[in-house]
Structure 1
């Protein structure tokens, strides 16, 4: 995919409201990091009150995945999750516009040697990540230390797409954006020994998935991870990230590559992936994107798990 380029059409009046919003956001993220955490939590509290549909989806997911917790515990977790989502809004802007030096001070990276070894061995890497609220800044911080290509879906607004892509790709000019549906392009990069960020933790529909347990619930789980690893002759390297509670930044962990993966069957591989996903979410539940309807697709004959949207 070509690098993003500025177009004079972006100066037309229809883009002025977005320019104003982006300008205001740029001004806000010049604040010190602790202040941004505070403002983000305030935004998250507001979102909790007004984003009714998203709040109900997240609440339902927490009920399904953490039935052992009390209602009061889940409510506290839900509010923390919205606070994390509010902070993520400013983390996105930080990753786009903070200087590389200022941003790098927040990074606490572990396990980088796994990516370096794969690079030396000429092995492609599927960097198996999750949709944490810290996704944007985590990718930026890791991208400063190692070339990571990313799966990408073009935004409907061309100006926002330009700003987003330029912000993401500035951390490593060698990084590439791969269209999400460009399977051939992804396999080509993997065979060339590159590392590609990939998240298999969302519900993409029953047609391209199989149903295996996640938190004890049958969940539509994509089989693409196994296929990409097999056809791209690539390692699958789990990657987790979290915003540190002491305000010192972010802990990024590149875990050891999965042994004997892919395995004998897609089902066994999907079960293994979901077990890893479940463990990662239990470690840091408040920072996950629970507003996604993870259990939307159901096996034949099973009832829907979410109420109709308001």
Structure 2
């Protein structure tokens, strides 16, 4: 089955983005109707994060979210096979000079990249500008794992580390001048997390960002990828480095990170990765969300 999916994505990648995008959105609307379990997760997340919205507003944003998910699936073949010149036209990036200036000054850099649906497009575009280090979670399906790895490493000299050997190797790579493309906003359970607010909800959040920043003496630069309407492509923004971060107060630093991610999400709520059960791990004694 996975080989058939790869073959389909190879065929689709030849299409113009203006044609590919509506096909992906149609797939997303179909998934919204038939994948009821994930639809419920998305709606549960939206209801908790945006209590001021009506049920109709939550459903409207959920449908837009699934349309973008469908696009992200059908457009993934571009990352695996499209030539560099085409990807540079499709994915625009700003802030490269800001990051390069930090690197030239000998400052390690963490690109803090929240889980937006265009995340992989953003990651690939970053690898066209920098040789990075990133943490790679192996997939159970070996065919999909192979192509995901290919897509993330086809440009430049990228350093993808498995999760179980990531800390020291990542710090060394940052100190050697590689920006760290870091995704810090998924629920990894209670063991490595603390509870801090996210949309006013006590949320299990890993403490890796301030820890990595402290160990490497790194500047944290927010990295946000947005999908643009139709055939307009993608936009990657490398923002201003955070001032006075980390502070040494881990809970405050992690809460600051969540507040910054929340601000980004509010700018384009349909683009955050709401199919993830972000609030799965609850404080002791609190009822489950899902």
2:266 corresponds to = 282
Gapped runs of 5+ residues in structure 1?
1-16
Corresponding residue SS for 1:181: helix
1:53-202 aligned within 5 A: 53-172=37-156, 174-182=157-165, 183-202=167-186
Shift of 1:148: 2.5
How many residue pairs are counted as aligned between the two chains? Answer: 289
Name which of structure 1's ranges 100-109 and 40-49 shifts more when overlaid on structure 2.
100-109
Shift of 1:23: 1.7
1:18-37 aligned within 5 A: 18-37=2-21
2:208 corresponds to = 224
Name which of structure 1's ranges 244-253 and 254-263 shifts more when overlaid on structure 2.
244-253
Name which of structure 1's ranges 251-260 and 117-126 shifts more when overlaid on structure 2.
117-126
Alpha carbons of structure 1 residues 139 and 282: separation in structure 2 relative to 1, 3 Å: same
Shift of 1:24: 2.2
Residues 16-43 of structure 1, C-alpha deviations (whole Å, 9 max, x = no match): x433332222012211111110110111
Which of 183, 192, 195 matches 1:211?
Answer: 195
Alpha carbons of structure 1 residues 166 and 76: separation in structure 2 relative to 1, 3 Å: same
Distance 2:49 2:141 in 1: 35
The Cα RMSD (Å) is 1.3
Distance 2:24 2:230 in 1: 16
Distance 2:289 2:160 in 1: 35
Corresponding residue SS for 1:207: coil
Gapped runs of 5+ residues in structure 2?
none
What is the TM-score with the length of structure 2 in the denominator? 0.96
Shift of 1:171: 2.1
1:6 corresponds to = none
Task: Indicate yes or no: 2:223 matched with 1:239.
Answer: yes
Corresponding residue SS for 1:24: helix
Query: Are the counterparts in 2 of residues 91 and 136 from structure 1 also a CA contact under 8 Å?
Result: no
Residues 77-133 of structure 1, C-alpha deviations (whole Å, 9 max, x = no match): 000000000000022211111111111111221211221012101222111011111
Structure of higher CA gyration radius = 1
What is the TM-score with the length of structure 1 in the denominator? 0.90
